[in-house]
A and B are shown apart, each in its own frame.
Chain A
């Protein structure tokens, strides 16, 4: 296997023995980007010199016998919603086209402390609003398995970069499925941790009660390592939780005894592609053979998750995005006739149509006369969705679900139908509303050769258990070892 095709643990092993230098590995990733990113368009910016300099420094410190961090010398691609000091951080918006992050996000500090190499910033739906990465103001990212199809979104660039062997690891953010959904469509592992597990300091806010940063990798062990590196309390995000971070990467290979897996009948309703349904049922059979107990559970309020989300998230977004006023940072219109007109003109020009649509929706839902009927009602149903999960996790350890209702859809297919696009997140959204962790793992291919994903959901802070359960499945399958046929490693 060529260098870019190796798993993170294999890379760490070779780096530790000196068989592989971080400079060679980083160069191999840059070569893969040069070879294929003109067609995939996963990256918005790559600073090859800066990445190679970090790699060289890790190699030198290793040669000097220094103790190095958890991800020493391993390149990580970063979704362009995360501030990395001194780099342009656009959120894929014209609004932030020239915004140079003045500080590092907490997760970037953590990656630097882990001696990872920061490889570049990846494309996304503008302000993380979207499910196909078509809402980027700059470029459309394509699915490495089929360039006519979407990689999903909003973290489509991060998912595609890992799928196309351009980076062994990447970071995304997940507000309604934006890590798990593209991971499923691109055939990689993607995880949304429990709300509060990872600090949001330096993550550009979309919907603050739902946003969470998480890892992409090609295998579960890689995701465990990256989560371990970024998780933990940070006083600058008062919603980050002061719980110790377990050594996920040390326990991920330990199978769970007496595992109880639930599946919800509500997740197998009309609209689910038969091949997707088949892959989830096959996965349940594998768990059964491994000795797990499989049982039906009920999540009666699941069907309201999309409706709740499209009131809660836009409401929070309309408030969060009020900060883009053309004064402190971001786009300012050239022509206006008053202060208020400057705000409106700058925002009208700087935001793309989906972002404006969600600001409009949120402003409406929070406006006088509608607050109780829309926003407050949604928060009450949100509680019922959480209660359903609490009850289910009293009976089972893990809930298995599809990730996406269908395999990757075509670019342009849903872009003019916002509601249909929103419904592509139907299986992932409820985890954000409830704040629980979820992971998407490769679980097969459609007859058309497109990846299918399995989602596993766990109780709050059960990431360790979730990773172990995901690894049990991965060990029995070889889906995660497949690479997109067109993404040939040339060097």
Chain B
């Protein structure tokens, strides 16, 4: 494990996580994430050869239900918390260049 975090890595992770960070936040994360990563490296001491990873506490498999039509959230309610709508759809900024 590499716990040495550099500024470039922090910025890359912020891009992957879609987080715009202020400069002081980048400094803070550089320092504190590094400390946390150093702490979690103690897991390297543990022999996990042949240990099956545990993704979940209740290891249910393939929970099926009947495929029946049921009422879903009405459109007006589904749109009611959206920052921008036209009453029918969620509106986002233009992503295709109109001139292209």
A-side residues, CB < 8 A to B, are 98-100, 102-103, 195-196, 209-210, 235, 238-239, 241, 301, 304, 306-308, 310-311, 318, 322, 325-332, 336, 338-345, 347-349, 351, 353, 356-357, 359-364, 367, 370, 373-374, 376-384, 386, 418-419, 422, 433-436, 460
State whether the Cβ of B77 lies closer than 8 Å to any Cβ in chain A: yes
Distance in Å from the Cβ of B4 to the closest Cβ of chain A? Answer: 12
Known: A344-B19, A381-B43; 8 extra A-B contacts, CB below 8 A, are A100-B81, A102-B81, A238-B63, A356-B19, A357-B33, A363-B17, A381-B46, A419-B35
B18 in contact with A343 (CB, 8 Å): yes
B10 nearest in chain A by CB position: A360
Q: Which residue of B lies closest to A431 (CB)?
A: B57
Q: Which of B1, B16, B80 contacts A100 (CB 8 A)?
A: B80
Q: Is B73 an interface residue (CB 8 A)?
A: yes
Which residues of chain A are within 8 angstroms of B18 by Cβ–Cβ distance? 322, 325, 340, 343-344, 347
Interface flag for B69 (CB, 8 Å): no
Interface flag for B95 (CB, 8 Å): yes
- A-chain residues with CB within 8 Å of residue B73 when the two chains form the complex: 102-103
B9 CB contacts on chain A under 8 angstroms? 364
With A100-B81, A419-B39: A377-B48 Cβ-Cβ less than 8 Å:
yes
Cα–Cα, bound, A195→B42 (Å): 27
- Report yes or no: A308 in contact with B43, Cβ–Cβ below 8 A: yes
B28 near A339 (CB under 8 angstroms)?
no
Bound together, the chains give a CA A351 to CA B22 distance in angstroms of 13
For window 1-39 of B, CB contacts with A under 8 Å fall at 1-2, 9-10, 13-22, 25, 28-29, 32-33, 35-37, 39
The 8 Å CB contact of A304, one of B42, B84, B90, is B42
- The interface residues of chain B lying within 8 Å CB-to-CB of A311 are 40, 43
CA separation between A422 and B40, bound complex, in Å? 12
- In the complex the two chains form, is B21's CB within 8 Å of A304's CB? no
A interface, over-half SS: helix
Contact of A376 with B53 in the complex, beta carbons under 8 Å: yes
**Is B54 in contact with A386, judged by CB distance below 8 angstroms?**
yes
Interface status of B55 (Cβ within 8 A of chain A): yes
Which residues does chain A contribute within 8 Å of B52, judged by CB atoms?
Answer: 380, 383
Q: Looking at B9, B44, B65, B82, which has the most chain A CB atoms within 10 Å of its CB?
A: B82
Tell whether, in the assembled complex, residue B43 and residue A377 are in contact, meaning their CB atoms are under 8 Å apart.
Answer: yes
Say whether B63 contacts A342, CB under 8 Å. Answer: no
B39 to chain A, nearest CB (A): 6
- Asked whether A363 lies within 8 Å of B13 as measured between CB atoms, the reply is yes
B residues with CB within 8 A of A: 1-2, 9-10, 13-22, 25, 28-29, 32-33, 35-37, 39-40, 42-44, 46, 48, 51-58, 60, 63, 65, 73, 77-78, 80-84, 90, 92-93, 95
The 8 closest A-B pairs by CB, nearest first: A435-B57, A348-B20, A379-B53, A329-B81, A332-B83, A380-B48, A383-B54, A195-B57
B57 touches A98 (CB 8 A): no
Q: Is the CB of B20 within 8 A of A384?
A: no
16 cross-chain CB contacts under 8 A: A103-B73, A241-B60, A308-B43, A328-B82, A328-B90, A329-B82, A339-B93, A349-B20, A356-B25, A360-B19, A377-B43, A381-B46, A381-B48, A384-B48, A422-B36, A433-B57
B92 is contacted by which of A327, A331, A353 (Cβ under 8 Å)?
A327
Enumerate chain A residues within 8 angstroms of B78, measured Cβ to Cβ. 102
A347 & B43 in contact (Cβ 8 Å cutoff): no
A435 to B57, CA, bound (A): 5
Q: CA separation between A212 and B22, bound complex, in Å?
A: 34
CB of B11 to closest CB in A, whole Å: 11
When A360-B13, A360-B33 are in contact, do A301 and B46 touch as well, CB less than 8 Å? yes
In the docked arrangement, what's the CA distance between A382 and B63, Å? Answer: 23
Residue in B closest to A300 when the chains form the complex, CB atoms: B46
CB distance from A348 to the nearest CB of B (A): 3
Asked whether A338 and B36 contact (CB < 8 A) given A209-B57, A359-B19, A379-B53, the answer is no
Residue of A nearest to B29 (CB): A360
